[in-house]
Chains A and B, each alone.
Chain A
Amino acid sequence: GAVVSQHPSRVICKSGTSVKIECRSLDFQATTMFWYRQFPKQSLMLMATSNEGSKATYEQGVEKDKFLINHASLTLSTLTVTSAHPEDSSFYICSATVTSGRNNEQFFGPGTRLTVL
């Protein structure tokens, strides 16, 4: 199956700093990538949809100036959490989709656990 990687897997940072998370599709080209956020013992909540070469589409309530998304190529999307605060501590998961006809299967990265002190 298709493989999606995320880097780093874990990051601890001080409040006020920025953190960049990379999401890569390793063996396929993904025109669309999604960023989700998961709080402990809760479901995944979609943050934004990232299309290669265009601006990301953010879900209601997600601050686009705080969560910067760049989809620079068909295999790479990055999420930058700017001026992170403890409430941004969460598990961030990306997925990449291969679209072909009716197939909208998504492949998930292993996630990045962000802890803001």
Chain B
Amino acid sequence: GNSVTQMEGPVTLSEEAFLTINCTYTATGYPSLFWYVQYPGEGLQLLLKATKADDKGSNKGFEATYRKETTSFHLEKGSVQVSDSAVYFCALSRHQAGTALIFGKGTTLSVSS
């Protein structure tokens, strides 16, 4: 079946450090891939997405590239800020209309100044 595996957290970084959160997936066909962010006490917000192989999603300095050959969608940011502290979820969705997202377990990022 379809599944998403994220690296275990928490990830603790100093401000301006480089961030990588690994995400790999298992799916039939060619799913869309997403990164969502959840700030403390809030709901999920879409951070970025990619809908086909080799697409790069980017937003707010975060990037992730859809790698079909390695079934990966790793999240990266060159210089994190304290305000990036949150929980990050990798997710996939089949293109079939009306199907739910499948989420990874989430990775907590804590950035200190």
Binds A, one of B12-20, B43-51, B60-68, B78-86: B43-51
Task: Known A43-B89, A44-B89; judge A102-B98 contact (CB<8 A).
Answer: no
Q: Report the bound CA distance from A106 to B102 in whole Å.
A: 12
A32 contacts B98, C-beta separation under 8 Å: yes
A104 contacts B43, C-beta separation under 8 Å: no
**Could you tell me the distance in whole angstroms from the C-beta of B84 to the nearest C-beta in chain A?**
18
SS class of chain B's interface: helix, strand, loop or mixed?
loop
B43 contacts A108, C-beta separation under 8 Å: yes
Q: Report the bound CA distance from A107 to B46 in whole Å.
A: 8
The reply to whether the CB of B104 lies closer than 8 angstroms to some CB of chain A is yes
Interface residue range, chain A:
20 to 34
Q: Report the bound CA distance from A99 to B46 in whole Å.
A: 17
| Top 7 closest pairs, chain A to chain B, by CB | A99-B97, A110-B43, A111-B43, A108-B44, A32-B98, A43-B105, A102-B95
List residues of chain A with CB under 8 Å of any chain B CB.
1, 6, 31-32, 34, 41-44, 46, 49, 51, 93, 95, 97, 99, 102, 104-111
Additional A-B contact list (7), CB under 8 Å, known A43-B106, A46-B102, A109-B43: A6-B43, A31-B98, A97-B97, A105-B46, A106-B101, A108-B45, A108-B46
List 22 interface pairs A-B (beta carbons < 8 Å), by A numbering.
A6-B43, A32-B98, A34-B100, A42-B106, A43-B103, A43-B104, A43-B105, A44-B89, A44-B101, A46-B102, A93-B44, A95-B100, A99-B98, A102-B32, A104-B32, A104-B96, A105-B49, A107-B46, A108-B44, A108-B46, A109-B43, A110-B43
